[in-house]
Every structure is written in structure tokens, then in C-alpha cells.
Amino acid sequence: MITRPSMSRLLDSIKAELTDKIIPGLSDPTLVVNVQMMTAVLGALSVRVEHELAWMREECDRIEAAAEATLAAGAPAPAVVAALAAYRDGRTDSLLVSAAQADYERASELLSRLAEAAYGSGDGARIAAVEDLFAARLAVEQQAIGTFVAVGR
Amino acid sequence: MSSQVDDATQAAVARLEAFLATRDGGAGPLRVVDYVPITGGYSRAMSRFTVEDERGRRGYVMRADPPPGTSILDTDRTVEWTILSSLCASGSIPIPAARWFDETGDELGSPAIIIDLVDGHGLPALIAERPGDHAAFVARLADAVATVHAYDTASLPSLMDRPTDWNAYLDGCIRQWVDAEAAHAEREPFMRLVAAWLDANRPPPAPLTLVHGDFQAPNVLVEAADGRFLLIDWELTHIGDPREDLGWWSLAATSQPPDIIAADAELFFDRYRERTGLGEDVVNPATVAYFTVMSSANVFFSLIRQTSAMTREETTAMGIAYMTNAMPFMHGVWIDAMARAGGWKQGAR
């Protein structure tokens, strides 16, 4: 199969063409905003196609480790136990994007339950551990989109 | 492409002329001129136009439903019209006059509200052009939003939900985060985090009031004649905690700076507290930050409903695809606001 130019490079090329040649030729402001939205989405896709699989896998591992640490510390968290079991039972480790997304879904549910259990307990250390997980997730998300500016406003 | 735009404009003008002839006519032939779509809003299809007849010229704005599946906000024009009409009739809320409504869309192409065009400027333009007036703007913003929050909710239309008390209202708001996440096309742990955090960090209660729901600089018009501040875009209005408006302002200003309230927070909060009678323990930067998180629900829930629809292949609207970029932005706003509220122990990112 053809891998060069990479998907990121192709998407960046489309984005550049829209920005440099299509937008200047448009007179309808509604269409200009539409195309500006397209370029913003293409910019994020360019980053995601390069990193998404790795990012999902790395975050799944972080969440699983945090859940293990929570349970190893003896915290009573039956919802976390159930979500961790569901994550492990369903995990495929497949490189197919849809399968990786399914793994990530189960890990995300585990993260939600960790957050709920931490705030429910009022335990500062558990809350801090959850904050770390969300801070890491946010850093990855923002790496993909860069700075969000509402176009057309 | 431009001929398609021209055709669409001509059709819209013809529909408006027919609609207005029986409502705003009676003075000779009525013409609609200077019809211009308004960009900048992500929910309604907006346009402005001028009516000409023997009575002279007058400007209007039309807020119409866009084609199904293309808006990031799913709200009801009949509800909006009912509330707008009621607020206009009261004469005590600073808004442009709401004139006519096509409930079914049979006459205007989709359900649409026509309001007066304000002879003035949008606040963002004035903020950019007149930095020396920011303090005066902040004081008038405090007055305008305090007027909304002082409105007698007993006189609001019966179709508006009336929470029984503050705790029950907050319980319902928090529950919505969990329910909305469950209905979303993928798991969204930030929403569950928000629900848990909101529950664990409740601020002191405030009286429930009319809430604008989308209080931000682009929704403030300043009349040229007397500098009066008028609030527009009431589609998210409801009865709730007044600090939701202050929190939402902060969130919106993050994506469309500058935030002139944050730059002169002491002036704003002093003035707002004076106008509303609410104490410093109730209205302060930390409690407002709490409501920056909570007030994002209206828009964020609509956003994820639409992105879920896109996931289910029910829409291909570009505006909805674009708003997927806004979701991480919102996550960042939440974390920053949690830190300002004092409930994110490691501080901001």
C-alpha cells in the first residue's frame, strides 16, 4: 500500500489549498466560515491520524495502573472493580482503529468510575491521582486541536 | 455558486415580503431590501433586512431554524417566542422588540422570529474600538444582567420549568451531566468528573431567578442613541441560579477574548452585588467559577447530542464536525474553572 505522502501530509496539503486558494475566492461569508471550519477540523485530523492509536493505548495503560493502585490500597470501590474487570475481559490489543476505540471506551468508563469513587470518598490522595489522569488526557486532546478559536465570530 | 446564493436570497426576500404585507404593511407596496445573512451564530439562521413602504424604512432581524441536523443547539422557537413576547410586554427587560413569529415555517421556510434591528453596535466591536470605556461597559453589564436576575419569575410564562428549591435544582443539574453522558455516542469521562466535582464542591445557595442562558459579549447590543445595553439570543433562557450567567460569560470570553469583566472583576462584582443584594459569600470569583463549569451544560449537551447524531450518520453538517474541536477546549475551561473555584487541588494545568 502507499504510505507516502503520509495521511498527515495529505490532510495538511488539503488544508493549505483551502486556506490559500479556496477561501480568497469566496464572496459568501457563510461559505467562508464553513471552509474555515473545515481547515480547523483537518488540522486536528492531521495530528490525530499520526498519534491517536498510540495515545489511546498509553492512556488505557495509565488508567488501568491507577485502578490497580486504588484497589491495592484497599479502597472499597465495587464500581471500579467491575469496570476494571470489564476492561480486561474485553481488551483486544488490536491495531484496528475500531477495536482500539472499543478498548479505549472501556478504559474511559473505568476512568469515570475512578473519578466518582474518588470524589465520593473525599480522599485527597485518590482525588489527586484522578486529577493526574484527567490532566494527562487533556494534554493529549489539546495537542490534537491546538488553540481553539471560534471562527466567524 | 453565487447564483445559488442569489436564488436563495431572492426566495427569502419574496417570502418575507408576503409575510410582512399582512403584518407590517398597509402603507402602499412593501419591499424588503438590503437582505443580508448574518454570520457568527452557530445555532440559528440569522439575517437582517430593511422594509420600505410609504411609512418609510425600518430594519428587522430574522432568527430562523436552520435545516434539520445542522445546528449545534436544538431549541424550540415556539418556547423562545412565548418567553420573548412576555419579556417584551413587561417593558422591564432590556431587549429589542419581538415583532412576529411564523410558528410552522409555512410562510418563511422554517419556524422564525422577527425582531427589531437595533440602531447601534455589538459590544465586541465597542470593546475593541474603545478600550478607555471598558470600566463603563463593565458597570453597565452589571446593571443589565442584574436587571434580568431581578425580574419577577412569577410573571414568566407557565411553560417555563420552575424548580422547587435551590438544592433540588442543583441536584437536577448535576444528574443531567450523568444522564447526558450515558446517552452520548462514546464514553466521556470529563462529564462524569464534572458531575462528581459539582456535587462535592457546592457553593452557598442563591435565590433562583430568570437566567439569560447565553450571556456573552456578542449577545449584547449597544444602542447608538443612548448607549443602552440590550440583550439578545434568549433561546437558552430559564429559571435557575443567577451565577450561571456570570459563569457562562467567563467561559465564552475565554474563546472570544478579551474578558472585560475579569479585567475589572472588583468593579463588576461590587456593582452586581449592590444591584441584586446578594452577598460576597454568594457572588465572588470562586462561586462564579463553579457556575462556569455548571452553566456549560446547555451548550455542551446540545453539542454532544449533535456529535452523537453525526456518529450515527444522521448528519454531515460542517458546523457539528467543527464543534468536535470545541470539546477539548471545554474540558480545559472546566479544569481551569475548577482550579479557580478552589476545588482542583493541584491547581490549573
Q: Which residues of B touch A142 (CB under 8 A)?
A: 328-329, 332
Tell me how close the Cα of B99 comes to any Cα of chain A, in angstroms: 26
According to DSSP, the residues that pair with B12 across neighbouring strands are none
Question: Is the pLDDT score of A140 beyond 70?
Answer: yes
- What local confidence, expressed as pLDDT, does residue B255 receive? 78
Average pLDDT in chain A: 94
The answer to whether residue B49 neighbours chain A at the CB level (below 8 Å) is no
pTM: 0.89
Contacts of residue A108, Cβ cutoff 8 Å, sequence gap at least 6: A63, B186, B187, B188, B189
Does B323 have pLDDT greater than 70? yes
Name the residue in chain B with its Cα closest to that of A45.
B325
CA distances from B346 to A132, B35, B100, B317, B349 (A): 9, 52, 52, 39, 8
Beta strands of B41-172 (E only): which ranges? 45-53, 56-64, 98-102, 112-116, 120-122
Q: Could you tell me the pLDDT band of residue A84, with boundaries at 50, 70 and 90?
A: very high
Give residue-wise pLDDT tens across range B58-111.
Answer: 999 999 988 766 666 678 889 999 999 999 999 999 999 999 999 999 999 999
**In chain A, which residues have their Cβ closer than 8 Å to the Cβ of B2?**
27-28
- Measured distance CA(B265)–CA(B135) in Å, rounded: 10
Give residue A86's pLDDT: 98
| B344/A27 touch (CB, cutoff 8 Å), yes or no | no
Q: Which amino acid is at B329?
A: F
- For residue B292, give the nearest of B347, B340, B238 by alpha carbon: B340
Closest Cβ opposite residue A40 in set B190, B325, B335: B325
Quick one: what percent of chain B has pLDDT higher than 90?
81
Give B165's pLDDT tier (boundaries 50, 70, 90): very high
Residues of chain A contacting B333 with CB distance shorter than 8 Å: none
Which bin fits B115, alpha (ψ -120 to 50), beta or left (φ > 0)?
beta
- Distance (Å) of CA A125 to CA A4, A115, B336: 47, 12, 20
ipTM of the prediction: 0.95
Q: Is it the case that residue B8 has pLDDT exceeding 90?
A: no
Using a CB–CB cutoff of 8 Å, tell me whether B273 touches chain A. Answer: no
Report how many Cβ contacts below 8 Å link chain A to chain B: 111
